[in-house]
Chain A
Amino acid sequence: MFTNFPFFPQQASEQAAQVDAVYFFLVAVSAFFAALIAIFLAVFAAKFHRTHHDQVGDAIHGSIALELLWTIIPLGITMIMFVWGAQLFFHLTRAPKGAMEIYVVGKQWMWKAQHMDGAREINELHVPVGRPVKLIMGSEDVIHSFFIPDFRVKADVIPGRYNTMWFTASKPGRYHIFCTQYCGTKHSAMIGWVTAMGAADYETWLGGGARTGTMADAGAQLFQSLTCNTCHLETGQGRGPVLKGAYGKPVELEGGGTVVMDDAYLRESILMPTAKVVRGFQPIMPPFQGLVTEEQLLQLIAYVKSLGAQGPTPPGQPATQTPAGQPSAPPATPTPKQPGSGN
């Protein structure tokens, strides 16, 4: 009945109801206080309306008790909002372990998504219902922001770094994607659709369409064509550290300190290798800043991750068909724990 006069977006993710609950609480509190003030104003204005010209008001100077009352009560209520909002924020920004990962790249003015199995889409995003999905997002130019109102999730997509967001779609359907960070001429056309599908439909969708191999496969090819493999040998004899099994593990750095090999570290290591140098190695790796696109970078990262096979199992079917003799990503299961990269 309100189809043309909607008040709330659909609740199409498991997060949506949680966000709406906080929203309703704040609406109720606001309505109460706004009404309270309005009623007092109206009543006072009417009741104490000046009746003759030189009438003056009573000299009332204040009341400490009242001041305390209307300081402490609002403070208490806002602290409820703070705690609830903070909890919700933690929940909305920490993806659960094992969430299925999809890479998203924003550029003026489109959204490009790459699924682990190699499927790519533009301004479309297909996800299964009922399964946590984590988006790892980067930008090729300016800041964008990825917003799915019906899921109540949003995160800025910033050049030079990865931001993540996650959701669990709860209802099959098509939902808006909006760019919410102003990014130039076609900002308002930088929109798309999320398609949430039942598990079976999703598998069918994954199966269809042309594939050139998984993201990791594409990364493996780049690893060769960009000559990474000339230094990073699997044997440990190369001039660069062994990358196999390194993902998700701590790396010891030259000059002390360690860093866990995650997406952000990989990104930095490839683009600006000298930012953090691995202990025991010469800083001879050339910087690839400007030589690889955001998407290629994501493929390289996916490849290194697949070598590691540590942490979250790759999503979907880790399709392991091996195109044309490339070293394919090993199936995500039991890679024997190796001492990993050289140090």
Chain B
Amino acid sequence: MEITTVGLNYLNNGYGLKSWLLTKDHKRIAILYLLSITGFFFLGGFFALLIRLELLTPAADMVQPDTYNKLFTMHGIVMVFFFLIPSIPATLGNFLLPIMVGAKDLAFPRINLLSWYIYVLGGAFTVVAAATGGVDTGWTFYAPYSTSASNSHVITAGLGIFITGFSSILTGLNFIVTTHRMRAPGLTWFRLPLFVWSMYATSLIMILGTPVIAITVLLVAVERGLHLGIFDPALGGDPILFQHLFWFYSHPAVYIMILPAMGVISEIVQAFTRKNIFGYAFVAFSSLAIAIVGFLVWGHHLFVAGQSTYAGLIFSILSFFVAIPSAVKVFNWTATIYKGAVSWDSPMLYAFGFIGLFTIGGLTGLFLATMGLDIHVHDTYFIIAHFHYVMVGGAIMGYLGGLHYWWPKITGRMYPEGWAKFAALTVFIGFNLTFFPQFIVGYLGMPRRYAMYAPEFQVYNVLSTAGATVLGAGYVIPMIYFIWSLKNAPLAGNDPWGARGLEWEIPSPPPTENFVVSPIVTEGTHQYAPSREVGIGH
């Protein structure tokens, strides 16, 4: 285990720009992704900050409604397509998946690099769309507004999403092939780290779902550019068709965002309780169940759109079904902590935060699956609060937790744990202050996407804005100490956490080829206690 050579690793193996831009090393590509998605994260966060500032008062006084509409649109597009979807898979997934399966790289290293260039190209379109005046359709691009009414840069932004989609598809393809073909000897499916299972399930959705959103935005562009009647009834099209196509991808897409975070949490919970997961098979298969059933629930976005009531019934019951595997995960994580050797280090704090917030996010999803209740809360701030609990309280908490957990592996350095704890707490408090009031104001009836709102909603909006400020600070602090740590923090060594897993057996940062000798795996993940005796006393 103890590899003492401070020698060559993937970071010091070539310094020039070229050695980075033409790299085929999955770890370097992960870093490229890390830098670019961080850029988009702060861009999307900047839009969010402006939104929250505008909403301090009921009138549209800081920006014009048109500007406001562009702000929430750009916030949604950037955060969903350029941050959340690639976040964990393209960074932590890219870095860790090959190592976790005991491989030297992904199956197709060149395609991996290509995927990053595609992502950057798509991102460039989006930045151009934003810089030249923005888009005002909402990230949902509902027709016929997007095709016939809006006079903003719909096609440019749509192309950005279209292009970036291919980077998702390529990443998914790479992960699936790697998981099937490149596992180390002895690494059976049921010995795989749960993070790999979640990446696998995510990849399935990426491959099966992304082509549909690509086609959908393309059809929007076609109708907008060529006036072919597809969605606009004035041209003989069907606007509800757009909603079906859009949500056919975009509902599963929420699982692209949350499944990876669930995988991260499974890893953290095991490492920081020094205990193997409770109910491995249930946690693993729940990922697949979510990926599959998640494709069959999109119609819950159309309950008030006049979709057939009987179709609605099916979508409603399936939406309840898809909640069950998520609940199973939460229960299993909680049970894992029982009789663990629980550490309160910052990654574990994020895991606690994730479990709590995701639980609230999931439970409030039930409100929306309940058809009669969805009529009232649909398109109000209740929805906004619900999906931010899942996407921000869930996905981003998981991402940050994972980043802290594997930071020593990625950079070879620790980070200041005190600050990290403080930041985790700040994020948790800021998050709840921002989004909990939105459940209440949503049930009161405040619609989403409102630049101006009724005065009785103001109290809650002020709370939200205050919370967003705290939350913003919570995101900037890690940024600072992570950068600081690169030069100043103590060296991490192979396994600073006393965790188990192939990634912790190799040096930090790992050598370019990951493993000098191909590993042979003889047991499942995170086996800490020597035997499987169950303690009864204490």
Contacts and interface: CB of A to CB of B under 8 A. Distances in A.
Given A58-B535, A161-B306, A66 B273 contact: no
Given A71-B324, A78-B320, 14 more contacts: A7-B443, A19-B375, A19-B376, A41-B352, A44-B337, A56-B528, A57-B342, A78-B324, A78-B366, A81-B366, A85-B374, A152-B376, A158-B239, A160-B233
B153 to A, nearest CB: 15
Interface string A102-122: 000000100000000000000
Most chain A beta carbons < 10 A, residue from B276, B331, B378, B452: B331
A171 to B, nearest CB: 16
A153 interface: yes
A2 to B, nearest CB: 11
Most chain B beta carbons < 10 A, residue from A85, A152, A160, A178: A85
B17 interface: no
Contacts of A180: 378-380, 447-448
B274 interface: yes
Contacts of A55: 274, 341
Contacts of A22: 370, 372-373
A163 interface: yes
Interface in A1-59: 4-9, 18-19, 22-23, 26, 29-30, 33-34, 37-38, 40-41, 44-45, 48-50, 53-59
Contacts, number: 302
B38 interface: no
A91 B372 contact: yes
Interface stretch (B19-27, B103-111, B137-145, B418-426): B137-145
Contact of A37 (B359, B367, B454, B456): B359
Interface residues of B, number: 101
A182 to B, nearest CB: 4
Contacts of B533: 58-59
A143 interface: yes
A149 B443 CA distance: 8
Contacts of B312: 89
Interface in A124-156: 141-143, 145, 147, 149-150, 152-156
Contacts of B321: 75
A182 B142 contact: yes
B278 A62 contact: yes
A260 interface: no
B527 A59 contact: yes
10 contacts: A18-B372, A30-B363, A44-B340, A54-B498, A63-B278, A74-B327, A87-B372, A143-B145, A156-B306, A180-B378
Contacts of A189: 65, 452
Contacts of A57: 273-275, 339-342, 528-529
Contacts of B328: 67, 70-71
B372 A67 contact: no
B445 A41 contact: no
Contact of A26 (B144, B344, B366): B366
A60 interface: yes
A246 B194 CA distance: 65
B303 interface: yes
Shortest 6 CB-CB distances between A and B: which pairs? A149-B445, A88-B372, A160-B233, A57-B275, A85-B370, A57-B340
Most chain A beta carbons < 10 A, residue from B150, B279, B343: B279
A189 B65 CA distance: 9
Contacts of A75: 320-321, 324
A82 B443 CA distance: 20
Contact of A149 (B69, B149, B444, B459): B444
Contacts of B356: 34, 37-38, 41
B528 A66 contact: no
Contact of B447 (A8, A60, A81, A147): A147
B237 to A, nearest CB: 8
Interface residues on A, range: 35 or more
A333 interface: no
A141 B149 contact: yes
Contacts of B359: 33-34, 37
A93 interface: yes
A56 B337 contact: no
A154 B376 contact: yes
B372 A92 contact: yes
Most chain A beta carbons < 10 A, residue from B378, B459, B530: B378
B49 to A, nearest CB: 19
A183 interface: yes
Interface string B345-365: 000000010011001100110
A63 B529 CA distance: 18
Contacts of B166: none
Interface in B286-321: 303-306, 309, 312-313, 316-317, 320-321
Interface string B368-392: 0111111110111000000000000
Nearest to B377: A23
Contacts of B317: 82
Contacts of A30: 360, 363-364, 366-367
Nearest to A150: B445
A185 B389 CA distance: 28
A5 B328 CA distance: 36
A232 interface: no
A61 interface: yes
A187 B449 contact: yes
Interface in A238-284: none
A79 interface: yes
A310 interface: no
Contacts of A37: 330, 334, 355-356, 359
A85 B313 CA distance: 10
B370 A26 contact: yes
B69 A184 contact: yes
B503 interface: no
B66 interface: yes
Contact of A188 (B371, B449, B498): B449
Given A141-B149, A155-B304, A187-B450, A49 B344 contact: yes
Contacts of A178: 445, 447, 450
A186 to B, nearest CB: 6
Contact of A23 (B337, B373, B454): B373
A56 B279 contact: no
Given A62-B280, A143-B145, A188 B453 contact: yes
A199 interface: no
Contact of A67 (B149, B282, B334, B380): B282
A142 B144 contact: yes
B516 interface: no
A98 to B, nearest CB: 21
A270 B273 CA distance: 70
Contacts of A18: 372
A89 B371 contact: yes
B453 A184 contact: no
A340 interface: no
B43 interface: no
Nearest to B339: A58
Contacts of B344: 45, 49
B337 A59 contact: no
B66 A185 contact: yes
Nearest to B68: A188
A174 interface: no
A154 B451 contact: no
A159 interface: yes
